[in-house]
Amino acid sequence: MPWLLNFAPAHCTSFDKLIEVQTHETHRRLDLLAPLPRRPPRQCCNDCRVSIIGLVGTSGLGIDYFNALASKSRLDLASDAAAIAAINAAQSYIAANSATQVDPALTAGAIAAGKAQSLKVFKSNAGSTANIAATPTITMSRSGQTFNASITYQAASQNAFGPIFGVKQININGSSASSLTMGKYLDFYLLLDVSGSMGLPTTTAGQTQLAAISPDNKDQYPGGCAFACNRSPSLG
């Protein structure tokens, strides 16, 4: 088959050399595709155990983190409600006791009432989640007619899977603030005149009727007096 020699590389001098080169390249490619060396069964089992532990641990950490986020969300809502309750309770105290108390006792009492109500509302809204949180820090102040309140909490969410990796808990914290400006209180005085002159009729017929029966100052008003009548000295 002399025609095959025409396709031989320049460095080959015969068809046999070409076949030898091609055969060598084929074996080299097949060596690259050869499977990896087989490992002992015991080593494979150990690798599987390590992989399963890592997979379960990673999934567990995700569950622990989700639980921590859920707890933080509920504590944040409880903190917001407590901040609002504090200023509302302080305002109610001022309205109920401003007539009998003066500052600084009035403001001190309002702040104490606000803090007490704030703590109750925090625990009520947090529910069972309050068990993982320390007692919140409640701060209140008054500036003029404005009450300010701030709530700060710290908590620790215990992990169920985290201890596998040495993470026993996830620390969470949060804060809320609120303010309320009260309207200025004014003192109103009501003067009520109960004298006879306040019983004036508002119609013509009523005035005529009052004049006919009025005994006041008949000397000056023979027809009777219906307005601004003063008794004469003779009538006492």
Assess whether 113 and 213 both reside in one domain. no
For residue 70, pLDDT over 90 is answered with yes
Q: Is 198 domain-assigned?
A: no
Assess whether 120 and 209 both reside in one domain. no
Nearest residue to 83 via CA among 134, 154, 129, 140:
140
Whether the Cβ atoms of residue 179 and residue 143 lie closer than 8 Å to each other: no
Q: What is the pLDDT of residues 132-167, one digit of tens each?
A: 889 999 999 999 999 999 999 999 999 988 887 888
Assess whether 224 and 160 both reside in one domain. no
Assess whether 59 and 164 both reside in one domain. yes
Q: What is the pLDDT of residues 164-174, one digit of tens each?
A: 788 899 999 99
Q: Is 101 domain-assigned?
A: yes
Assess whether 218 and 141 both reside in one domain. no
Tally of structural domains, the chain: 2
Which residue range(s) make up the domain with 220? Answer: 204-235
Assess whether 153 and 72 both reside in one domain. yes
- Mean pLDDT, the chain, rounded, equals 77
Provide the pLDDT confidence category of residue 211 given band limits of 50, 70 and 90. Answer: confident
Assess whether 220 and 153 both reside in one domain. no
Q: Is 13 domain-assigned?
A: no
The per-residue pLDDT for 204 is: 80
Q: Is 131 domain-assigned?
A: yes
Q: What is the pLDDT of residues 7-21, one digit of tens each?
A: 444 444 444 444 444
The per-residue pLDDT for 136 is: 94
Distances (CA, A) of 192 to 195, 199, 200, 201, 230: 9, 12, 15, 18, 20
Q: Is 54 domain-assigned?
A: yes
Assess whether 221 and 106 both reside in one domain. no
